[in-house]
Chains A and B, each alone.
Chain A
Amino acid sequence: MHLNRLLLYFLIGLLIGCSDSKVNQGKDFIFGTLIDIKIYGESKIDAEKVSNEIFTEFHRLHKLLHPWEKSLITDINTAISENKSITIDSNEILTILNNVQRLETQTQNLFNPSIGKLIKLWGFHSNDYNHKKIPNEKIIQELVSSNPSMQSIRIENGILKSNNENVQIDLGGYAKGYALDQAKKILKENNVENALINIGGNILAVGKYGKRDWVVGIQNPRKPNVLATIALKPGWAIGTSGDYQRYIMVNNQRYSHLINPKTGYPENKTQSATILLPPAEDSGALSDVFSKPLFIIDKENKATMAKKLNIKYFLIIMNDDSILISESLNKEINWEDDIDKRNIKIF
């Protein structure tokens, strides 16, 4: 009889060991993209509770920051276009606007969250952009030469005013990263030590997957699989700007949503720019923002821009299939077999 009981316990143990019950996963569709939260080492109930708290926060941010559906941002934009001032009673928005003003200067205006009019003109202020037309060149030139910039916005005692009516704030290149940082806070408040948060490809690692680091795959811009994998150490964030998620095809030519604020046209020589950033309070937001200038700036200046922004880990895929990678990232990355190593240039 004792033997039977032992055997039974052994088999039950075997069964429990088989299922991956250590990770609980939550998915939702917010910010027009897929959110995937993996929590390691918590009970299913606790993990679900925390995931839902994060999803609720993301829905709040979505409503607050939406670039074209009614939000505090569209209210501000309406005021700016009518050359009126607007009182902002949200400290959060004031902090965000302050941050993006600073980031715009830091990135030599290549991250410019005030070009909402250009993004709308190209048709990306829509959930189903499948138009086959490129905008009128003259209108593009007019908008570019009106020089929209976050620096035209003055905020005093919570009252915002812009002296450029063509400024329309679009935080599309910041919001998802900011949301990662908010998620990190919620995890900490709930004492969750190990999690992986993915907002439409922007990923933040909190803690580890048991004894090993979380591992992420980097999407191949032109194939339906990953081109490499990389371990994301605790607190690190990874962000990619790519021309393969939001884009339109006109006459067999690809026009991505990543518009160069200085030309008014989508940058078309880069397929993707990926960066990894070390733990910091705003590493999520920075991983979202800093991939843009690296994507947009011309090939010759990409490494210089990375250095200027203190990005030690970057990977850029050009349209001619050449791969630019920083030395630090090259040491840690695991390439998939189908990558032609002769195309890799190390910086």
Chain B
Amino acid sequence: MIKEILKFFNTIKAGDWFIIILFCALIIVSTKFLWNLPQGEYLEIYKNNKILATYSLNQKITKIINGAKGDTKIIIDNGRVRFVSAPCTKKYCIHQGWINKANQIIICIPNKISISILGNKKNYDSINY
């Protein structure tokens, strides 16, 4: 049994190792990175790349935004946000579902509306209050 495993290992060539290790590393790095993403605190709504409004994510509220093609409806639900309805044909924005992490973004190109989450900008080590 052990011999067979060793035999199998011997068939893996340098190039294969390269790919195996690279992908393992990629998985570990991205898990580590994504796991630690801070939860967002604010929602910024853009229309034509201009800020339309900023909302706290810590509330439960439905907002209707008038875009290039019509009304887009979004829901903020205590820390997360999603598109509910949009006048676009593909509905990609709705299929994205909920987002809740800092720097996450959903863009609806046809209606020229995008929403993104801002976190606590961590450019300090501690807060004085």
List residues of chain A with CB under 8 Å of any chain B CB: 1, 3-4, 7-8, 11, 14-15, 18-19, 36, 38, 196, 198, 200-203, 209, 214-219, 224-226, 229, 238-240, 242, 244-245, 274
Contacts and interface: CB of A to CB of B under 8 A. Distances in A.
A15 B25 contact: yes
Given A4-B18, A15-B28, A224 B126 contact: no
Interface of B: 14, 17-18, 21-22, 25, 28-29, 32-33, 41, 56, 120-121, 123-129
Nearest to B24: A11
Nearest to B56: A224
Contacts of A3: 14
13 contacts: A4-B17, A7-B21, A14-B29, A15-B29, A18-B32, A18-B33, A196-B126, A201-B128, A216-B126, A217-B128, A218-B128, A229-B124, A245-B129
Contacts of A226: 124, 127
Given A240-B128, A244-B129, 5 more contacts: A8-B21, A36-B126, A216-B124, A217-B123, A242-B129
A214 B123 CA distance: 11
B123 A215 contact: yes
B25 to A, nearest CB: 4
B126 A19 contact: no
B79 to A, nearest CB: 13
Contacts, number: 77
Contacts of B56: 224
Contact of A11 (B21, B121, B125, B127): B21
A315 to B, nearest CB: 10
A332 B1 CA distance: 68
Contacts of B25: 11, 14-15
